[in-house]
Structure 1
Amino acid sequence: MDLSITFIICWMMWICVTFFASKQNTWRLPGAAFILLVICLLPLEWSGSQILIRPVMFLFFLAGIGVTSRLSSIIRIRTYILACSFAFLFASFRLAEWYEPVIFLFGRVPTYVVSFSLVFIIFFRSNRERLACALLSGCGGELLYQSHIFSFTSVYVAGETFFLNYVVCIAAVGLVTNIISSLIFSRKPATSFSHLHLPGS
């Protein structure tokens, strides 16, 4: 899965946020602007002798911090603590690719997205908490993983293609579930028969 698929997913997310999100949603305009910024920064990279940096990775990290700023102080602290814990879990998954590749028979990105989506659904109530933890734990775990394998690869990659695919896909899953849940809960309940003006009532 290369970045061309990621570009397509980003454009689909931008269309969903721009045209299908509720007009009363305060995150509609910032979300659309952020996705456009991600699309612009995805192909950019800075490389040195032993380091390769994609600035979009740090944009994801700052976005995670920004999402938590809208949470209450107690929930924010809880999100940070769990994000640190899940960062080690993410790094463990990444290291498992070296030692136990059989775990990822169904594909690396689908395995990560399904596994961590279930974890975030279990531990968090709101989509904001899940999105913030996905961004923070993913960035933190990727940096831990790159630090660990640096002695083997001699190259520090901050923003590997696989990681960018994972972040975009798990954000897309969160967006789709948010839109579906908002459509379900915004539907008006069916009219009760007790309120119908039937003959003789």
Structure 2
Amino acid sequence: MEGMYFYLFFWSVWLVATFFMKKTAVRTKLAVFALFMISSASLTVEVGSIHVALSFFVLFFFSCYTAVERRPCHPLLMALSASGLAFAYTAFRLLALFDPVWIWFDGQWMLAWWLALVSCLFHRGLVDRLLCLALGGCQGEAVYAAAIHRMGPDYVLGSFSFLDVTAISASCLLAWEMIRFLSLQLEEKRSVGGTRQP
């Protein structure tokens, strides 16, 4: 079922932000963003001759706002990395369309892992990786939709397929960060335990 990963991810984000995070402005923005994404996912608007999901605009503009607010001194780095990820996204989608023999298991998962890997290559911090993923994914989806518009005029920009890939990729990044954090905690406990005197 298309949209399952998307709804699961964003409902989880909303629950964590609402009930487990400290009461800060970041928590409020994250919870509102998750609710906007969920409520606008099934709504579409027509821009010219292209159908666009409202959640696509929510994701893109929220990511732009966060990137500018978070890194006012390095917008060029984020723009370049997002463009690189957009190229990776578009190349994979076009390869899957014209030469599907390379897609040897579920294409959504392969694309999600590919995007997570590329965002990890560009940035070290989790938030920067997620921003790069969102901005690059949105740009890549727009380029892909423009490329296939004549062949598939009914294609919806920011469809549930795109949202599922983004959700899976973001989940991979969060899982990797959690594994990394736990391994650092274990290493720290080992080093502290090893320095204790008998």
| Percentage of pairs with the same residue | 25
Q: Is contact 1:65–1:136 with CA below 8 Å preserved after alignment?
A: yes
Q: Is contact 1:13–1:172 with CA below 8 Å preserved after alignment?
A: no
Unpaired runs of 5+ residues, structure 1, are none
RMSD: 2.8
Q: Is contact 1:50–1:156 with CA below 8 Å preserved after alignment?
A: no
SS at match of 1:73: coil
SS at match of 1:52: strand
Match of 2:12 in 1: 12
Q: Does 1:71 find its partner at 2:71? A: yes
Distance in 1 (alpha carbons) for counterparts of 2:49 and 2:82: 28
Q: Does 1:82 find its partner at 2:90? A: no
The higher radius of gyration belongs to 1
| 2:73 counterpart letter in structure 1 | S
| TM-score, reference length from structure 2 | 0.82
Match of 2:104 in 1: 105
Q: Using a 3 Å threshold, how does the CA distance of structure 1 residues 113 and 194 change in structure 2: closer, same or farther?
A: closer
Q: Using a 3 Å threshold, how does the CA distance of structure 1 residues 19 and 176 change in structure 2: closer, same or farther?
A: farther
Distance in 1 (alpha carbons) for counterparts of 2:20 and 2:171: 14
Q: Deviations over 1:159-199 (max 9, x none)?
A: 12211111122222333344454555567746547656x6x
Cα deviation for residue 152 of structure 1 reads 1.4
| 1:8 counterpart letter in structure 2 | L
Q: Using a 3 Å threshold, how does the CA distance of structure 1 residues 130 and 179 change in structure 2: closer, same or farther?
A: same
SS at match of 1:46: strand
Q: Is contact 1:17–1:28 with CA below 8 Å preserved after alignment?
A: yes
Q: What pairs with 1:7-156 in structure 2 (closer than 5 Å)?
A: 7-21=7-21, 23=22, 27-47=26-46, 50-69=49-68, 70-74=70-74, 76-155=75-154
Cα deviation for residue 13 of structure 1 reads 2.8
| 1:163 counterpart letter in structure 2 | F
Q: Using a 3 Å threshold, how does the CA distance of structure 1 residues 152 and 134 change in structure 2: closer, same or farther?
A: same
Q: Deviations over 1:101-126 (max 9, x none)?
A: 12222111110111111111122111
Q: Deviations over 1:71-127 (max 9, x none)?
A: 2513x3111112112212211111112211122221111101111111111221111
Q: Is contact 1:95–1:145 with CA below 8 Å preserved after alignment?
A: yes
4+ long deviations beyond 6 Å? none
Distance in 1 (alpha carbons) for counterparts of 2:34 and 2:166: 12
| TM-score, reference length from structure 1 | 0.81
Distance in 1 (alpha carbons) for counterparts of 2:88 and 2:42: 28
